[in-house]
Amino acid sequence: MLRELDPLLHSQLRLGIMSLLMNAESAEFTYLKEKTNATAGNVSVQLDKLSEAGYIIVEKSFNGKKPLTTCRITKKGIKAFEEYVNSLKDYIKK
């Protein structure tokens, strides 16, 4: 029986963000916005959802006077992403 795809990851923007974070130790908000080609508001909302689920950690700091938002994936997020990819493979094999 096919596993249900994680609804939190099965969204274009959230999946894009998670894919970028899987490949990075940490990434700035601006980087995620630039690479996903999404609006700041949209990225911000999706980061909140991923953060609330415990998939990512969002850290806010300052670089000089400039506010800096840095994101990193958690172990829970890595596990969820791997399970999601395995489920995708099952769907494609079907």
Partner 1 sequence: METKNDNLSPQQSLDLIASMINQAKGNVGRSSFYFLLWGWLIAFCNFGMYIVLTFTDYGEYAPSVWLLCIPAWAISAMYGRRESKTKMVQTHLDRISMWVWICMAIVITPAWVFGGKINWMMNAIILMPVGAATFLSGIIVRFNPLLAGGVVFWISGIACYFVNSTDQYLIGGIAMIFGYLVPGYMLRNQKENHA
Binding test (CB under 8 A) with partner 1, winner from 3, 40, 82, 85:
85
Q: Nearest CA to 48 among 80, 14, 20?
A: 14
What is the four-CA torsion angle of 92, 11, 81, 35, rounded to 10 degrees?
110
Among 60, 63, 65, 75, which residue interacts with partner 1 (rule: CB under 8 A)? 63
Closest CA to 51 of 24, 70, 25, 23: 70
The correct pick among 3, 34, 67, 82 for binding partner 1 (CB under 8 A) is 34
Query: Can residue 23 be called a binding residue for partner 1 (CB under 8 A)?
Result: yes
Q: Which residues bind partner 1 (CB under 8 A)?
A: 5, 7, 10-16, 19-20, 22-28, 30-31, 34-38, 42, 45-46, 63, 84-85, 88, 91-92
